[in-house]
A and B are shown apart, each in its own frame.
Chain A
Amino acid sequence: MYKIGVIGDYDSICAFGALGLDIYPCDSADDAETQLKKLADGNYGIIYITEQYIEKMPGLFEKYMERQTPAIIPIPSCKGSTGFGIGNVKKYVEQAVGSDIIFNDNN
């Protein structure tokens, strides 16, 4: 059985605790990085992490991208979205297709 973890600053993620997800409040990106490593090697299938933190560790994010689990999903924090998450989706399209054909449609 796997678990779902949430990493971020307390204000952004405290409500997820009420839903039964495991929350790991972190005060800094360094903190979040050690926490993420710990969870990723542990029994976690999905790790939601606020964009503000995951942005600062692109190497780690890419390392876990190749693995089947855990799925590391950036979520916006309470300060709003930085565009990192949606930018990633764009990156996948570029990687697969060669140029971005999904986001250009709508503009």
Chain B
Amino acid sequence: MAQLNVNPTRMELTRLKKSLATAIRGHKLLKDKRDELMRQFLDIVRENKALRENVEKRLSEANQYMAVAGSVMQREALASALLMPKQGVTLKIGTKNIMSVDIPTFEVKTKTDSKTDIYSYGFVNTSGDLDNAISIFSDILPDMLKLAEHEKSAQLLASEIEKTRRRVNALEYVMIPNYQDTIRYITMKLDEAERSNTTRLLKIKDMMIAENIEAK
């Protein structure tokens, strides 16, 4: 039985009762927060896993094409083909709020709309495998962005869930029992004082009666 180090007074008792009510309310709220965070997190992390598997698979596919292109073409030719990209990408970051955790959302803007602008080279001097590789890379780019978004969300949510869980447990297993024990201790102490007071009064009454009888 763990109790707080307080004086067993009526004032302290009222204060503790108020704190206990707050703690219980906070515990309920945090528990709800944790449950909702967990639900969102599991959705996100499932999608994250699927995206990552897909992206890794496609990337290795693209890298195979790149390897072939690299072996067919000269290294310098390959480097110069990719030296001056026509396409440019900028990123807009917004935020989404999930249970008071700020999650970034990424929105990408390309410099040009034309799909062929990813090929920054003439087709004469380059291998067709390079085209294939680049086209796969450009196909998976949206998925890679989504992956970035989901992975960041998963990271942030995971640490928030960990924190919330710790708080919930601290309230549930430490703070609330402590308050309850202390309240019980003070109540008992006060009752005890009350009883001893009553007996004392009875005793005094008896003594006074006895004195009265003797005086007669």
Contact = CB atoms under 8 A, between A and B. Distances in A.
A66 interface: yes
A95 B45 contact: no
Given A86-B49, A92-B158, A95-B158, A73 B144 contact: yes
A20 interface: yes
Interface residues of B, number: 60
Interface in B29-83: 38, 41-42, 45-46, 48-49, 52-53, 55-56, 59-60, 62-63, 66-67, 70, 78-79, 82-83
Contacts of A20: 85, 87-89, 110-111, 118
Number of chain A interface residues as a range: 35 or more
B149 interface: yes
- Main SS of the interface on chain B? helix
20 contacts: A1-B90, A2-B90, A14-B79, A17-B85, A18-B118, A19-B118, A20-B111, A20-B118, A46-B106, A68-B152, A73-B144, A76-B63, A78-B67, A81-B56, A92-B154, A92-B155, A96-B41, A96-B158, A97-B42, A102-B42
Interface of B: 38, 41-42, 45-46, 48-49, 52-53, 55-56, 59-60, 62-63, 66-67, 70, 78-79, 82-83, 85, 87-93, 95, 102, 104, 106, 108, 110-111, 118-120, 133-134, 137-138, 141, 144-145, 147-149, 151-152, 154-159, 161-162
